[in-house]
Amino acid sequence: MRRLVGQSIRRTEDARLLTGRAQFVDDVRLPMMAHAAFLRSEHAHARLRGVDLARARQRPGVIAAFAAPDLGDYWQPGPLLVPPPPIAGLVFHAATQVPLAREKVRYVGEPIAVVIAESRYIAEDALADIVVDLEPLPAVVDLEAALAPGAPRIHDQLDSNLAAHVVQAKGDYAKARAKAHRVIARRFHYDRGIAGAIENRAVVASWDQIAGEMTIWDTTQAPIPIRNGLARMLGLSESQVRVIAPFVGGGFGPKIMMFYPEEVVIPWVARTVGRPVKWVEDRRENFAATTQERGQIHDSEIALAKDGRILGVRDVFLHDTGAYDPYGLTVPINSQCTLLGPYAVPNYSSEFRAVFTTKPIVTPVRGAGRQHGVFVMERLLDIAARELGMDRVEIRRRNFLRPRDFPHDHKIIFQDFQPLVYDSGDYEPAMARAVEMIGYDRFVREEQPRLRAAGRHVGLGIVSYIEGTGIGPYEGARVTVEPSGHVRLATGVGTQGQGHFTSFAQVVADQLGVETSDVSVVTGDTQAFGWGTGTFASRGAVVAGSACHEAAVAVRQKALTLAAKLLGVKEARLAVGGGRIFVRDDPQRGLTLGELAQRSNPLRGAVVPGSEPGLEATKYFGPARGSTASGVHAMIVEVETETAQVTIQRYVVVHDCGVQLNPMIVEGQIQGGVAAGIGNAFYEQLVFDDGGQLLNASLMDYLMPTALDVPTVEMAHVETPSPLNPLGAKGVGEAGAIPTGAAFAQAVEDALAGSGVEITEIPLSPGRLFTLMAEAKQGGAGAQAAAPAAGGRALIIDGRYDFAGPPREVYSLLLDPAVLASVMPGAQRLERFGDRYVGELKVGVGPISAATFTLEVDLTDQVVGERYAMRVNARGRLGFVAGSAKVALAPGAGGIGTAMTYRAELQLGGTIAAVGQRMLDSMSKVMSAQGLKALDKALDKALDKALRARRGGAA
């Protein structure tokens, strides 16, 4: 009955999307609609002492403004979405996000207040009217420092920043290690990124007071759980709340997160102000307020036999969960489980600690931690191959699980709470195909040596991976044949571009003997279908697809039963096709599905007991456990060693996702996944400084790959159908993105073979690669490079300056408020009150308008004529500058003049930190140079004056 399933049917949703007529959330227009903007924390960690909304509320065009206390009982921490799985000895501390910050803010971007206005423009104007009293606390950025004794605590109710501690093991690693021929140990870093959907998040809520109905349009991947949760929070029944996830412009994980503060606040606001309210996340907010993923540090070991067989693996890692952990342990458990890959690993010891940091919340992003595990395992195997003098393909082959090993129980628990059991797979053919497609043997034997001799550095990477996909609990679908013969299919999962409208229609059309275009699909509207979980974990096609199949099978059966009765023939003699049910050996005799639909819903007579009216069925499907997809990625890169530029010349994917519902869509998913993986490997990195400020919160500085950066992937497929669902399908949505970093690292390392560069971190960048190459050159071959710089940097201004005058003179001048004001670029006025200076600073450069900062400087540690320190605090609309400076004076060379050394460490926050970093280094240089020049001038003038005064006195 596979007529359409397996065909590359063109997508039915495309015409709407291509003509700009598909509705996305921001396209919703309602009468009287108001617009929301959120005030967000500029500090990564601070105590919130108060929020003053009075001025904002008075601004013309502002309808209302709310902070946490205004929410009353509605203010509740969000639910724990995924409780920890049943693993012995597991430690888990839940700390879930809150709608608006109340006592504390815990990451830059955490919402503090919301303004509702006639337009988004006015709402943003009013944000500047809000006065927030924050007492900054030290940020927690580095994972190891976060767990150190005495580290600042993010959640006061917890003893430390430990969110979870999980140990899983099989066999006896210590014993295996003792017997090993070789043990290889390394530390691996895998840093943060964003999902980067081009559509940011959005919520529109409309409360119908008369009907008592709340309608919410939401860019969510999980409309049904959102409805259920919001109904509970709002004190409404589920039938009073309708959540619609219309066309969604890319999900990739973060849109499954629930409940975002905005998702909770906007419906409440709509009901409170009595008008529909729209909030659309802007890109700047997206970098702070949408969940992110990745930061992990692994200390890993592999124990090997002489022939390259894996005896055991030990992996201890830290996982950055961000400020809250509503998504439980899904991501680190994925890392833990996926590390095992397609290999027979008899002994495994894995331990991780999830760590709270003052950074945005971490939840799954395409791959959801799987790439970390793959990166660790594949890198260990590469290094093992090198050290054992083995071929890197061979070492993988020797360790592959064989077809007879399935189902294979790894004896640890997966993210779906089920034992990690691979249902099916055959890894050798995929590897063989990839080796052939990329031309591995010829490349290694001929191509690479030839190019190397010509001074070119080309390298090949080839890695394997598996992906646990299509997990439960369940999805459902309802198939209805209308009297017109048209088929309606409703299912609960939302869709974000995966082609569900088409692939689900294919599944149903096959059963009902109609065409794909005869089936209209509704997804993501709780009014159309109200049971289900959502689109995540590469499960849409597998789980919802199977539910569609089951419902279609049931409708088919109903139609057959009815047709048999009406035609007076045995069911066995009937056939389905062309939108009809007909007698197989007398095709003229039959009924259309439309006729059957009509006849099944009679106005007279009786529906036979035990049957149901209508050609309609609702079915649910819940897989026993996830199905295991797998594949091999191979790539060839060229590294230009002078400039550290890397170009990807070829990219090959051989993939096994079981039965493909629509190969065109499958290949699109893989190509897109690889693009995301390439971004992750070489372009995209969220750079946080030591103060927890994200320094590249824009698409100018956060580099998503463009059409010039992503090659066209050459693809082949292996098909081992999953026995766990009626379609034989496995998930494919995330696969492309999972092994890319590992393949890239191997390829770059291979291109630089002999240079001593070993890649143990993702993402790379040309700048980082340049540093690694320079370090390898210095340290000699084989030295493991220093860890990537942690955290990032506060702004540091330091230097030395020689003045003509004596130290005492310089010292008193430096502390003279008038002089200080004249040397501080942009200082408007400065007054001294004891050891405190208070004033105003107006600075701007280039595109940054001169912005006013209120300035407070406190003097400490003064030793007259020798040294002093300052604490600096400046705040303005563009953000804040805070930090300390130390100044020391000493007699200059030969006792003439004064040598001043200075060092200021400044923390910047807010917009200037987020999008201005490109200018900061130059700007600080320019400003300190300006200041010093002015100081020199002031000093000259003062000395001159003193000298003249002395002369005058003498006269």
Partner 1 sequence: MKPAAFIFHRAATLDDALALLADHPEAKPLAGGQSLIPAMNFRLAHPAALVDLNGVRELAGIAATADGGLRIGAMTRHLAVERSDLVRQRSPLLAETMPHVAHPQIRSRGTIGGSLAHADPSAELPAVMIALDARFQLRARGADRWVRATDFFTGLFATALAPGELLTAIEIPSRAARAGSAFLEVARRHGDYALAGVAVELSLDAAGRISRAWIALLSVGDGPVLTAASGSLVGQDASAANILATAELVRAEVDPPSDIHADAAYRRQLAAVLTRRALTIAAERARTA
Partner 2 sequence: MHPVAFTLNGQRVERTVEARLLLSDFLRHDLGLTGTHVGCEHGVCGACTVLVDGEAVRACLMFAVQADGARVETVEHLGTEVALHPLQEAFREAHGLQCGFCTPGILMTLIPFLRDHPAPSDEEIREALSGNLCRCTGYANIVEAVKLAVARGAGVPSDTAARP
CB of 203 to partner 2, least distance (A): 16
Binding positions for partner 2, 171-210, rule CB under 8 A: 195-200
221 lines the binding site for partner 2 (CB under 8 A): no
Contact predicate 249/22, CB 8 Å: no
- Candidates 21, 181, 918, 948; binder of partner 1 (CB under 8 A) is 918
Residue 374 CB contacts under 8 Å (≥ 6 apart), including other chains? 338, 339, 341, 463, 465, 738, 739, 741, 742
> b/e for 742-775, b at 16 or more Cβ within 10 A?
bbbbbbbbbbbeebbbbbbbbbbbeebbebbbee
Contact window for partner 1 (CB under 8 A) among 18-26, 82-90, 517-525, 920-928: 920-928
880 lines the binding site for partner 1 (CB under 8 A): no
911 lines the binding site for partner 1 (CB under 8 A): yes
Instruction: Tell me the C-alpha distance between 341 and 374, whole Å.
Output: 7
- Candidates 221, 415, 523, 696; binder of partner 1 (CB under 8 A) is 696
DSSP, collapsed to helix, strand or coil, labels residue 335 as helix
**What does the angle CA 759 – CA 760 – CA 766 come to, to the nearest 5 degrees?**
50
Contact predicate 927/794, CB 8 Å: no
Q: Which two tokens stand for residue 158?
A: 């917890």
Q: Which two tokens stand for residue 570?
A: 């045995």
Residue 444: count of CB within 10 angstroms of its CB: 15
605 lines the binding site for partner 2 (CB under 8 A): no
- Candidates 770, 869, 932, 943; binder of partner 1 (CB under 8 A) is 770
Contact window for partner 2 (CB under 8 A) among 231-239, 277-285, 567-575, 946-954: 277-285
Q: Nearest CA to 46 among 793, 851, 916, 880?
A: 880
849 binds, among partner 2, partner 1, none (CB under 5 to 8 A by kind): partner 1
774 binds, among partner 1, partner 2, none (CB under 5 to 8 A by kind): partner 1
Could you give the string, one character per residue 257-276, with x where binding to partner 1 holds by CB under 8 A and - elsewhere?
--------------------
CB of 292 to partner 2, least distance (A): 15
Could you give the string, one character per residue 474-503, with x where binding to partner 2 holds by CB under 8 A and - elsewhere?
----------------------xxxx----
Could you give the string, one character per residue 56-75, with x where binding to partner 2 holds by CB under 8 A and - elsewhere?
--------------------
Q: How far is CA 254 from CA 100, 499, 641, in A?
A: 19, 19, 37
- Candidates 58, 643, 649, 828; binder of partner 1 (CB under 8 A) is 643
Instruction: Tell me the C-alpha distance between 359 and 374, whole Å.
Output: 25
Give the nearer residue to partner 1 in terms of CB position, either 35 or 392: 35
Tracing tokens 């009937």 back to the chain, one arrives at 574
687 lines the binding site for partner 1 (CB under 8 A): yes
Residue 36 CB contacts under 8 Å (≥ 6 apart), including other chains? 114, 115, 116, 117, 120, 123, 262, 265, 266, 269, 277, 278, 279
CB of 108 to partner 1, least distance (A): 15
DSSP, collapsed to helix, strand or coil, labels residue 136 as strand
Q: Look at strands 487-491 and 475-481 and give their pairing.
A: antiparallel
- Candidates 645, 647, 812, 854; binder of partner 1 (CB under 8 A) is 645
709 lines the binding site for partner 1 (CB under 8 A): yes
Contact window for partner 2 (CB under 8 A) among 13-21, 132-140, 774-782, 831-839: 13-21
- Candidates 563, 878, 889, 939; binder of partner 1 (CB under 8 A) is 878
Instruction: Tell me the C-alpha distance between 716 and 732, whole Å.
Output: 14
- Can you spell out the DSSP letters for 383-451? HHHHHHT--HHHHHHHHBPPGGG-SEEEEEE-TTSSEEEE----HHHHHHHHHHHHTHHHIIIIIHHHH
Total residues contacting partner 1 by CB under 8 A comes to 50
CB of 112 to partner 1, least distance (A): 18
60 lines the binding site for partner 1 (CB under 8 A): no
Side chain identity at 807, as an amino acid letter? Answer: P
Instruction: Tell me the C-alpha distance between 675 and 671, whole Å.
Output: 6
Contact window for partner 2 (CB under 8 A) among 177-185, 694-702, 823-831, 871-879: 694-702
Instruction: Report H helices in 752-792.
Output: 766-779
- Candidates 3, 14, 172, 179; binder of partner 2 (CB under 8 A) is 14
**What does the angle CA 440 – CA 444 – CA 448 come to, to the nearest 5 degrees?**
120
Binding positions for partner 1, 117-146, rule CB under 8 A: 120-121, 124-125
Instruction: Tell me the C-alpha distance between 430 and 425, whole Å.
Output: 10
283 lines the binding site for partner 1 (CB under 8 A): yes
Give backbone dihedrals phi and psi of 125, rounded to 5 degrees, phi first.
-55, -45
| Beta bridge pairs of residue 832 | 837
Total residues contacting partner 2 by CB under 8 A comes to 61
Give the nearer residue to partner 2 in terms of CB position, either 121 or 947: 121
Give the nearer residue to partner 2 in terms of CB position, either 67 or 652: 652
Contact predicate 43/97, CB 8 Å: no
Instruction: Tell me the C-alpha distance between 428 and 431, whole Å.
Output: 5
Side chain identity at 455, as an amino acid letter? Answer: G
- Candidates 520, 698, 862, 928; binder of partner 2 (CB under 8 A) is 698
777 lines the binding site for partner 1 (CB under 8 A): no
695 binds, among partner 2, partner 1, none (CB under 5 to 8 A by kind): partner 1
774 lines the binding site for partner 1 (CB under 8 A): yes
Q: Look at strands 241-244 and 213-218 and give their pairing.
A: parallel
225 lines the binding site for partner 2 (CB under 8 A): no
Binding positions for partner 2, 23-52, rule CB under 8 A: 23-24, 26-27, 29
Q: What is the separation, in whole angstroms, between the first and last Cα of the chain?
A: 116
Side chain identity at 725, as an amino acid letter? Answer: N
945 lines the binding site for partner 2 (CB under 8 A): no
247 lines the binding site for partner 2 (CB under 8 A): yes
Contact window for partner 1 (CB under 8 A) among 136-144, 389-397, 759-767, 811-819: 759-767
Give the nearer residue to partner 2 in terms of CB position, either 564 or 704: 704
- Candidates 3, 16, 179, 948; binder of partner 2 (CB under 8 A) is 16
Q: Look at strands 310-322 and 348-356 and give their pairing.
A: parallel
801 lines the binding site for partner 1 (CB under 8 A): no
877 lines the binding site for partner 2 (CB under 8 A): no
Instruction: Tell me the C-alpha distance between 468 and 625, whole Å.
Output: 9
Give the nearer residue to partner 1 in terms of CB position, either 504 or 682: 682
CB of 211 to partner 1, least distance (A): 33
Instruction: Tell me the C-alpha distance between 828 and 839, whole Å.
Output: 7
Give the nearer residue to partner 1 in terms of CB position, either 617 or 912: 912
Instruction: Tell me the C-alpha distance between 35 and 315, whole Å.
Output: 49
Number of Cα atoms under 13 Å in the Cβ half of residue 180: 26
693 lines the binding site for partner 1 (CB under 8 A): no
Could you give the string, one character per residue 109-148, with x where binding to partner 2 holds by CB under 8 A and - elsewhere?
-----------xx---------------------------
Binding positions for partner 2, 709-768, rule CB under 8 A: 710-713, 736
Instruction: Report H helices in 235-274.
Output: 261-273
CB of 714 to partner 1, least distance (A): 23
Q: Where are the beta strands (DSSP E) in 482-571?
A: 487-491, 519-523
Give backbone dihedrals phi and psi of 919, rounded to 5 degrees, phi first.
-100, -10
Residues lying near partner 2 in the complex (CB under 8 A) are found at 10-11, 13-24, 26-27, 29, 120-121, 195-200, 247-252, 280, 282-283, 496-499, 664-665, 667-669, 671-676, 698-700, 704, 706-708, 710-713, 736
Residues lying near partner 1 in the complex (CB under 8 A) are found at 120-121, 124-125, 282-284, 642-645, 683, 687, 695-696, 698, 700-701, 703, 705-706, 708-709, 765-767, 770-771, 774, 792, 845-849, 877-878, 911-912, 915-923, 925-926
